Structure 1
Amino acid sequence: MTHAFTYFGTKVRDQMGQMTLIVHLSRIMATENDDSIGIPSYERVGRFLITSKSHMALPNPFRRHTPNTRTCWGYTFDLTPEHLTEEQCKPLRQSYDVLGEQVLNRLNEISPPPRKDLPRGNSQFTKPKAEPEESISKQEQERTKAPTRDLYAILQEHKDSDELLQRFWNEVTTVPEWVDWEQIRRGQDTFYRYGAANLTGLAYQSLLGGMGAARVVETLARTGGFSTKVAKGRLFETTQHILQCTKAVESLQPGGDGFASTIRVRLLHAAVRNRIMALTKSRPEYYDVEAWGVPINDLDSMGTIATFSASLIWMSLPRQGIFMRRQEIEDYVALWRYIAFLVGCPTEPFATAEGAKACMEALLLYEIHPTDTSKILANNIIKCLADQPPGCPSAEFLSASARWLNGHELSDRLGLMRPSLYYYFLVAGQCIFFAFFNYSNRAVPSWDEKKISMLKRVFYNLVVNTDFGLKGQESAFEFKYVPEYSTITAMGEAEHADKPTTSYTEWQSKKALLYTGAVLVLGGYVAYRVTGYALGLVF
């Protein structure tokens, strides 16, 4: 997924450091509506300084500590009555989208799913049979030619003749009264306004960092969908869904592409849950429901929405030197609240920006506990993306990016490599690149409008229409990675590709860093000469 973004320098990671502080400090202090972040300007500046150096774990002199202050994986916050407690989280691990599962079962009765062998990663319990490359290639070709089973199309076809399907359809097509379509449109524009930085945060903090959620990875590992062989495809499919949900208001309205994809994802979640629970029924040791909760439960769904919204706003973007304005925050949270409604996730935590932030913080505190499975999935993401087009970033750069966004503490627990200081400088350069263009375009409405329109086309083409993406075929989110007793994702090998002579992503970051250094040197020289001249006039 992120390689499509690295092409435009999107592979930056969050710790912009002191150079970025120099570039943006005055803007952070002066930007109108920045107090929307919920803290005073002086403290916001302090947070930015510490955030940009979060892997150093430096104390923040601007931070006010109280008995309710908590620090978790480099992120500090204060517990409030709005935060979920551990006791409140427990029942959410056992509740789930019952209606979505009922609809899936009815659709399976109407149109039974075909039985077929599906590609997935190596198992820890079974060793795959060795087959000639030609044979594997032919099998892959046949698989891609096979017609997809579109549950959304089946739902549309039979919704008027089945009471359950009709009830479900009426529910998802009845727009909640709290939805403001103009606000949804602004939220969609906000995604593209910070598009490259957002995609970077989604890939390396929301997804890779999210592999630290011990319970969630047990479900992911049993699908085999995050082996190195198929993880990149999964990333592109997830990105396709996000792009469809953000391309236009009409896309999210009933019948639109984003609406349809979200319903497909909801039914896919039900299929995974159904399958794992069925296997567990005959072999209880396969999946520990008591310890891990029902697969893809309400708390898991809330965590997904929070990482796609609140984590970007209060973690990923600030660590890249970017701060949303108050209205942007409210609009972006409103967008994901509606997506939560469509996907069958509780929407109450996302009724306000403050609620979304509290949800994110509570889940960060209670849910992120990396395990050995977390290490496997996190490293598989790095391996499947390293040296891949179009940006061709090295594994070292990807690891530096992930560490920049997640900090050393979590990254060490995820077993990520520690690259040399050189790669952190490259990441800093990319952060400067992002921050400069995001702030400059945001300041000029006509530039902002053109950029948003351009990125909608460019991102979609890179993700869907390129040979390294989805090869021109939009995903229907069918149930491709079917859990089996023998399927537990193991640590994979890096994807074999010719080592590129030049990484566009790293070269772009290096240029940004060099340009910034030149500007600072020139600015310092000019300031020195002007100061000397002024002192000469006085004395």
Structure 2
Amino acid sequence: MKNPTIPARFQDTAEARRRFGDQLDRLAPFLHRVDPVADAVVDAFASMPSGQGFRQLEVGLARGIDAVPDAPAELRALFAAVDHVPLWVDWEAVNRGGTAFLRTGILGGILLAMQALILGYASPGGNKPLVFSGRLREQAPRRLGETSRFVHAVSLADGMRRSGEGFAITVKVRVMHAQVRRLIRASGRWKTELWGEPINQHDMVATALLFSVAVLDGFDKLGYHIPPAQKEDLVHLWRYVAHVIGVEPELIPGSYAEARRLAEMIFATQGAPDNDSRLLVSALLSHGIGSGWTESQRRRAEQLVSIFCSVSRSVLGEDLADQLGVPRQSSLLTVPLLRAIAAASSRAHALPSLQHFALDLGDRYWQRSVAVALGGRPADFAPPEGFVGRGT
């Protein structure tokens, strides 16, 4: 019999119970847990003139919280939390994990969009905060660009150090999540009994797993070999990102094996994709086909979408891809060709003489892809003052 205090989205099936036992009982409550430290910050910001709180946050990130003499106690508490570096953090491992990912270049970019983001959309409960923001199709390229910038910044050497851009963006995203939570609650339309709390601890750690375990799984499926030690390094990077972004210590996996088991547990209990999942995937796949483009530009964009769909179906699996409405493509050569390129690239990247070149090439790819996706507009990760659309 299902526990009535557990949100309906949590599918405690017989098969999941067989595989994970009473770990399910310990996972489910995190759907009701959020981030009280960041929530208190946005409550404090709400009493200030528009934009003042975010400016204080930016000054604190750039110069330290002591450089903000009128900072509220809530903001000081947030900085006390994020300025603390846990004993387990290994900076060399953090940097190695980011380097291993950046070295994959365009392959990592494809997997970020066509596997990690799509798997996030597949969650019929976890996708609801995105749906509440409204205007799914119009926001898809912006969302992809901001996510790409976030992933690139945390992956750079020393990007997660206190003065790094990745660290600053992570803290801003934490505060942005809290503001989105505040707006959703104020809307009066959120269904806690179905979905749990908006942007809860369960979904926060799931995002870190998408950018680590899920992406690593995609590399394996495409034949790009990442050594076990580098897999541990990438998980270690996202372990620290999860800490800074507000995930509770109990929930953060400490190894690749723990992270993979937690990812499998979350996937086994989330239920089938819903119509919102399909709308989000459709928006992601079609955002590059502009209405004002020339016919040749549209054909090229459609060809790229066809390639991306083929790759996505390959890494997601046919059954999940069908549930998400990822179009079937007629090309039989796309995935085998990409696998051949991926395998050759991984062999080349294992050569010490080519590793620096591959990293430089990968970094340039990410800089360009972020610039294109954002369309020249800055991404400041400021907390929204309201939603742009009606939502679900």
Hey, what does 1:101 align to over in structure 2?
39
CA apart distance, 1:378: 1.0
Q: 1:200 aligns with which of 110, 120, 135?
A: 110
- Contact conserved, 2:133 with 2:390, CA < 8 A, in 1? no
- Contact conserved, 2:141 with 2:287, CA < 8 A, in 1? yes
Hey, what does 2:169 align to over in structure 1?
261
* Alignment pair present for 1:245 and 2:149: no
CA apart distance, 1:355: 1.0
Q: 2:231 is aligned with what amino acid?
A: I
Q: 2:232 is aligned with what amino acid?
A: E
Q: 2:367 is aligned with what amino acid?
A: Y
CA apart distance, 1:79: 3.2
Structure 1 residues 462 and 370, CA, compared in 2 at 3 Å: closer, same or farther? closer
* Alignment pair present for 1:231 and 2:140: yes
Q: 1:364 is aligned with what amino acid?
A: F
* Alignment pair present for 1:398 and 2:308: yes
Hey, what does 1:483 align to over in structure 2?
387
Hey, what does 2:200 align to over in structure 1?
297
Return the alpha-carbon distance in structure 2 between the equivalents of residues 355 and 224 of structure 1: 35
- The equivalences for 1:79-478 within 5 A come to 79=19, 84-85=23-24, 87-113=25-51, 150=55, 152-153=57-58, 155=60, 156=65, 158=68, 161-224=71-134, 227-249=136-158, 251-280=159-188, 286-313=189-216, 315-348=217-250, 349-386=252-289, 392=301, 393-420=303-330, 422=331, 424-442=332-350, 444-464=351-371, 468-478=372-382
Question: What is the number of residues matched between the two proteins?
Answer: 366
- Contact conserved, 1:93 with 1:300, CA < 8 A, in 2? yes
CA RMSD of the aligned region, Å?
A: 2.8
Structure 1 residues 350 and 88, CA, compared in 2 at 3 Å: closer, same or farther? same
Hey, what does 1:28 align to over in structure 2?
none
CA apart distance, 1:150: 4.8
Runs of 4+ more than 4 Å apart: 148-151, 154-157, 386-391
Q: 2:86 is aligned with what amino acid?
A: P
Return the alpha-carbon distance in structure 1 between the equivalents of residues 180 and 111 of structure 2: 26
Q: Could you list the per-position Cα deviations for residues 411-441 of structure 1 after superposition, in whole angstroms to 9, with x for gaps in the alignment?
A: 1111222221x2x411221221122112222
Q: Secondary structure at the match of 1:215?
A: coil
Q: Secondary structure at the match of 2:333?
A: helix
Return the alpha-carbon distance in structure 2 between the equivalents of residues 484 and 459 of structure 1: 28
Structure 1 residues 150 and 456, CA, compared in 2 at 3 Å: closer, same or farther? farther
Return the alpha-carbon distance in structure 1 between the equivalents of residues 299 and 244 of structure 2: 33
Structure 1 residues 458 and 162, CA, compared in 2 at 3 Å: closer, same or farther? same
- Unaligned 5+ runs, structure 2: 1-13, 291-296
Q: 2:39 is aligned with what amino acid?
A: E
Return the alpha-carbon distance in structure 2 between the equivalents of residues 469 and 296 of structure 1: 24
Q: 1:366 is aligned with what amino acid?
A: T
Hey, what does 2:6 align to over in structure 1?
none
Return the alpha-carbon distance in structure 1 between the equivalents of residues 278 and 385 of structure 2: 20
Return the alpha-carbon distance in structure 1 between the equivalents of residues 300 and 26 of structure 2: 44
Return the alpha-carbon distance in structure 2 between the equivalents of residues 288 and 417 of structure 1: 31
Return the alpha-carbon distance in structure 1 between the equivalents of residues 317 and 42 of structure 2: 40
Structure 1 residues 113 and 419, CA, compared in 2 at 3 Å: closer, same or farther? same
- Contact conserved, 1:107 with 1:151, CA < 8 A, in 2? no
Q: Could you list the per-position Cα deviations for residues 36-76 of structure 1 after superposition, in whole angstroms to 9, with x for gaps in the alignment?
A: xxxxxxxxxxxxxxxxxxxxxxxxxxxxxxxxx97x9xxxx
Return the alpha-carbon distance in structure 2 between the equivalents of residues 450 and 111 of structure 1: 48
**Of 231-240 and 469-478, the range deviating more from structure 2:** 469-478
- Contact conserved, 1:159 with 1:165, CA < 8 A, in 2? no
* Structure showing greater Rg: 1
TM-score (norm 2): 0.85
CA apart distance, 1:298: 0.3
Q: 1:341 is aligned with what amino acid?
A: H
Q: Could you list the per-position Cα deviations for residues 470-497 of structure 1 after superposition, in whole angstroms to 9, with x for gaps in the alignment?
A: 2444411123483378333xxxxxxxxx
Structure 1 residues 487 and 161, CA, compared in 2 at 3 Å: closer, same or farther? closer
Return the alpha-carbon distance in structure 2 between the equivalents of residues 158 and 149 of structure 1: 12
CA apart distance, 1:105: 1.7
TM-score (norm 1): 0.63
CA apart distance, 1:306: 0.8
- Contact conserved, 1:330 with 1:352, CA < 8 A, in 2? yes
- Contact conserved, 2:123 with 2:271, CA < 8 A, in 1? yes
- Contact conserved, 1:193 with 1:438, CA < 8 A, in 2? no
CA apart distance, 1:184: 0.9
CA apart distance, 1:218: 1.8
Structure 1 residues 325 and 272, CA, compared in 2 at 3 Å: closer, same or farther? same
Q: Secondary structure at the match of 2:88?
A: coil
Structure 1 residues 187 and 390, CA, compared in 2 at 3 Å: closer, same or farther? farther
Structure 1 residues 195 and 485, CA, compared in 2 at 3 Å: closer, same or farther? closer
- Contact conserved, 1:382 with 1:395, CA < 8 A, in 2? yes
Structure 1 residues 462 and 380, CA, compared in 2 at 3 Å: closer, same or farther? closer
